[in-house]
Amino acid sequence: MSRIAYVNGRYVPFHSAKVHIEDRGYQFADAVYEVCEVRAGRLVDARRHLDRLDRSLGALHMPMPMSRAALGVVLHEVVRRNRVDHGTVYLQISRGVARRDLAFPTAAAPSVVVTARALNRDRIAALAATGISAVSVPDNRWGRVDIKTVGLLPNVLARQAAIDRGAREAWFVDHGGAVTEAASANAWIVTEQGRLVTRRADHAILGGITRAVVFEVAKAQKLDVDERPFTLEEAYAAREAFITSASQIVVPVVRIDGRTVGDGKPGPLAVALRREFHRFAEEE
């Protein structure tokens, strides 16, 4: 099946989908994005993803390029045309194409790109069943990583550092020794007392949609959640650790910097949160 992308009002063959070389997303990372899970052909938590998109655009003083309803139609249409049953849909909006100059262009239409791809559900389930390894890296990102921009170079380098060290994910650690989040996911631990801990969604992390839903799952299961910074030392000594993101939901972390977390197996809370997740996520 040939794949289809949406680019600025047209559905085009994926292999020939293009934006101009002077697109500000390409030149300055002057663009925002969203990644939404697709499950049984439906978008998961699209409302919350579009709310966050609104906030990201607002922070960069960019208008919504089309109505929310129209954007929803495009997202669904790209999923449908690519016959994605399980996977992700990716949306990117840049400030548009203009002569290279840092200042906002006075007249540029935003570039809107949407793609969708299938994910191997069994592979992710297998990862969740064994758990993954993470390594810590210094968090050297800018101060507004709550805005979901495509400026992901530190994340790229962090992920590669993880791979080079034989791990799958990187955990960013701030100047004070506290974990902020993972290269493309939020980071959580379970303390010896059985309390869930994840950093407060301030400017130092991306406020994950999966994270928000996991709060609801935890509440329904009467689990205690503390939103506070936790140190790398606390993570080493934790009973469980895990990450959350739209593409992987909840994935246990069983080793950090080569040290075994808990008993080295996915812990019961991470497993339960993953199992229950889709009872709380919205599908449309």
The reply to whether 148 belongs to the active site is: yes
Q: By CB under 6 A, name the one of 114, 139, 244, 256 that touches ligand PDD.
A: 244
Which residues ranging from 50 to 89 are in contact with ligand PDD (CB under 6 A)? none
| CA atoms of 18 and 81, how far apart (whole Å) | 18
Least distance (Å) from ligand PDD to the CB of residue 14? 18
Least distance (Å) from ligand PDD to the CB of residue 101? 28
Closest to 235 in 3D by CA, of 126, 163, 135, 129: 135
State both tokens at 89.
Answer: 């849909």
Q: By CB under 6 A, name the one of 84, 206, 218, 281 that touches ligand PDD.
A: 206
Listed in sequence order, the residues at least 6 apart from 95 whose beta carbon sits closer than 8 Å to its beta carbon are 24, 25, 30, 31, 60, 62, 104, 105, 108, 110
Region of 237 please: left (phi>0), alpha (psi -120 to 50) or beta.
Answer: alpha
- The yes or no reply on residue 186 touching ligand PDD (CB under 6 A) is yes
Least distance (Å) from ligand PDD to the CB of residue 100? 26
Do residues 25 and 94 touch, judged by C-beta distance below 8 A?
A: yes
Do residues 71 and 89 touch, judged by C-beta distance below 8 A?
A: no
Looking at 121-129, 193-201, 240-248, 269-277, which segment touches ligand PDD (CB under 6 A)? 240-248
Q: By CB under 6 A, name the one of 95, 245, 254, 270 that touches ligand PDD.
A: 245
Q: Which is nearer to ligand PDD, 104 or 280 (CB)?
A: 280
- The yes or no reply on residue 185 touching ligand PDD (CB under 6 A) is yes
Q: By CB under 6 A, name the one of 56, 149, 184, 198 that touches ligand PDD.
A: 184
Least distance (Å) from ligand PDD to the CB of residue 184? 4
Least distance (Å) from ligand PDD to the CB of residue 247? 5
Q: By CB under 6 A, name the one of 95, 168, 211, 255 that touches ligand PDD.
A: 211
Q: By CB under 6 A, name the one of 137, 235, 246, 281 that touches ligand PDD.
A: 246
Interface residues toward ligand PDD, by CB under 6 A: 35, 155, 181, 184-186, 206, 208-211, 244-247
Residues with catalytic roles: 148
